[in-house]
Amino acid sequence: MRVGRRAVLAGLTGLAALPVAGAFVAGVTSTAQAAGDPLSSWNDGPAKQAILDFVQATTDKTNPKFVPIEARIATFDQDGTLWVEKPMYAQVIYCLDRVPAVVRVKPELAKVEPFKTVLSGNRGAIAKFSMADLEQILVATLTGMSVDRFKDEVKDWLAKAKHPRWNRPYTELIYQPMLEVMQYLRANGYKTYIVTGGGQDFVRVYAEQVYGIPPEQVVGTIGGTKYGYDKDGTPFLTKEPRLLLNDDHAGKPEGIHLMIGRRPYAAFGNSIGDQQMLEYTKAGEGARLATLVLHDDDRREYAYGPAEGQPDSKVGTFTQALYDQAAKQGWVVIRMKEDWRQIFPFE
């Protein structure tokens, strides 16, 4: 059920691109960045060492594991891998927050479920939504508008919305250690991509400013668009409720093939939604790095890995089976509590 809901949540998203207010890329070069150590917010340990070794081996021409620069592709899941995914995906909160605006345009929806419940603000009832309910909300809030309009709406929301625990914009709740990994890979000729179950257009709105990843390097769940003309004959694209790719689970390698056309050499994830991306990455020849972020730090962030029995989490399913597969297939598990000296850029 969790997985199914995850798929639906991921399923209906979509289209757009441009930067957000803040300058969070600055986080990359925060005080945590000590001279000489590209991964300075990481504690020494097997995870940090595996990343350093991988980059060293694949960029050294004398090493048999050398990878030519044009083939250096690294992919990153977003929710739970690059930023906080608890207590709920930011994009789902976006959709719920957008409901009043949708109802203002279509007042008849105010009396219709699930919109009525969303407007009531009853979090308990919202948490019990069926997949069909969520799908209705996603379609109503993520499609039907122009690509440019959607982009503006997301930008506006990101500038105002705050995470309930830290009272900060979602775009600040990004992991400093992962920003360092992305920057380190790029400094070594790797092209970094986001490969997310979230909406491709949603993530494109902020990925360049927040992570330094341009729109064309965001692979996500893709909805169709429709080309048309306004009354002045100016062409524009409308976001349609038509799913082209659910970029989660098996959809991740499919999305990577669609958008990149090359197999990654390194892939970073944190849940069963990333399993196939990591398998696909590791199945390539030569040196391949597959990693999973394990959330085991309830004090500084959240704990919802296998050891914690996944307490009432709707998202980020790091199961025991995934943990076992990681051990068996040589994937690197990044343990937040031990491996990350610092979690957020603002700390």
Q: Closest approach of Cβ 110 to a second copy, in Å? A: 32
Distances (CA, A) of 184 to 28, 178, 342: 10, 10, 17
CB closer to a second copy out of 33 and 209:
209
Task: State both tokens at 37.
Answer: 């150590």
CB closer to a second copy out of 280 and 318:
280
Instruction: Confirm if 118 and 137 have CB atoms less than 8 A apart.
Output: yes
CB closer to a second copy out of 167 and 234:
234
Binding a second copy (rule: CB under 8 A), the pick from 28, 194, 245, 326 is 245
Distance between CA 242 and CA 153 in Å, rounded? 20
Q: Closest approach of Cβ 20 to a second copy, in Å? A: 15
Look at the block and give the residue holding tokens 């730090």: 297
The angle formed by the CA atoms of residues 287, 292 and 293, to the nearest 5 degrees, is: 135
CB closer to a second copy out of 240 and 338:
240
Count the residues of the shown chain that bind a second copy, applying the rule CB under 8 A. 39
Distance between CA 72 and CA 100 in Å, rounded? 44
Give the H or E element holding residue 194. Answer: strand 191-199
Binding flags for a second copy, 4-43, as an x/- string (CB under 8 A): -----------xxx--------------------------
Binding a second copy (rule: CB under 8 A), the pick from 280, 302, 304, 340 is 280
Distance between CA 91 and CA 202 in Å, rounded? 8
Binding a second copy (rule: CB under 8 A), the pick from 46, 214, 241, 306 is 214
Q: Closest approach of Cβ 15 to a second copy, in Å? A: 6
Asked if 254 touches a second copy (CB under 8 A), the answer is yes
Distance between CA 157 and CA 125 in Å, rounded? 23
Binding flags for a second copy, 115-134, as an x/- string (CB under 8 A): --------------------
Distance between CA 47 and CA 52 in Å, rounded? 9
Binding a second copy (rule: CB under 8 A), the pick from 75, 143, 183, 225 is 225
Binding a second copy (rule: CB under 8 A), the pick from 103, 181, 259, 336 is 259
Distances (CA, A) of 23 to 53, 80, 145: 31, 21, 28
What single letter denotes the amino acid at residue 108? E
**What part of residues 187-206 is at the interface with a second copy (CB under 8 A)?**
191, 200-201, 204
CB closer to a second copy out of 69 and 101:
69
CB closer to a second copy out of 38 and 269:
269
Distance between CA 68 and CA 343 in Å, rounded? 32
* Burial call 291-320: b when 16+ CB within 10 Å, e when fewer: bbbbbbbeeebbbbbbeeebeebbbbbbee
- Name the one range near a second copy by CB under 8 A: 44-52, 129-137, 162-170, 276-284: 276-284
Residues in the site for a second copy, rule: CB under 8 A? 15-17, 70, 147, 191, 200-201, 204, 208, 214-216, 218, 222, 224-227, 234-237, 244-245, 250-251, 253-254, 257-262, 276, 279-280, 283
